[in-house]
Amino acid sequence: MTTESVRPDPPATSPSIVLLTLAHIAGVPKASFSDLARMSGITVQSVHTGVKGLAGAGLVRDGKARAGSASTLELTPEGARLMREAMKVVEDVEERLFGPDADPIQRRIADTVRASFAGLSPGPPDGATS
């Protein structure tokens, strides 16, 4: 009797995860592949595959893409353009979900989230004093 290991199909590529990865690359200079994996909630291997695809699509470049060197990922001009366009869509969706014409429960959720973060401001990094 042989036991075959059934490997599930890879998950479909999520446009949201791709855009989040682009946003993380743009917003966190010098983020490592491990950092990107943690931020996106995916494996490091998936980040490597995703970044390879993003680079192939001309959206990301790695200034130090060689073995043994830390990557320096950055958006290309096309990647930055795509992020600007995506943010317009996100703003539209947020307006529809949480704006003045949204369902009252959804508006309440938005108000609660905003209130929860209203008093927060980024402090000095790593416990440093200002």
**85, burial (CB in 10 Å: exposed 0-12, middle 13-18, buried 19+):** exposed
Whether CATH 1.10.10.10 fits 15-117: yes
pLDDT above 70: residue 48: yes
- Tell me how far apart the alpha carbons of residues 40 and 50 are, in angstroms, rounded to a whole number: 11
- Is the pLDDT reported for residue 129 higher than 70? no
> What's the pTM value of the predicted model, to 2 decimals?
0.66
pLDDT at 8: 59
Q: Is the dihedral of CA 31, 18, 14, 122 positive or negative?
A: positive
Cross-strand partners of 73: 62
pLDDT digits (tens, 9 = 90+) for 63-82: 776 665 667 889 999 999 99
> Which pLDDT tens digit goes with each residue over 77-120?
999 999 999 999 999 999 999 999 999 999 999 999 989 988 77
Residue 18 binned pLDDT confidence (cut-offs 50, 70, 90): confident
Boundaries of every domain in the chain: 15-117
**How large a percentage of the chain has pLDDT more than 70?**
77
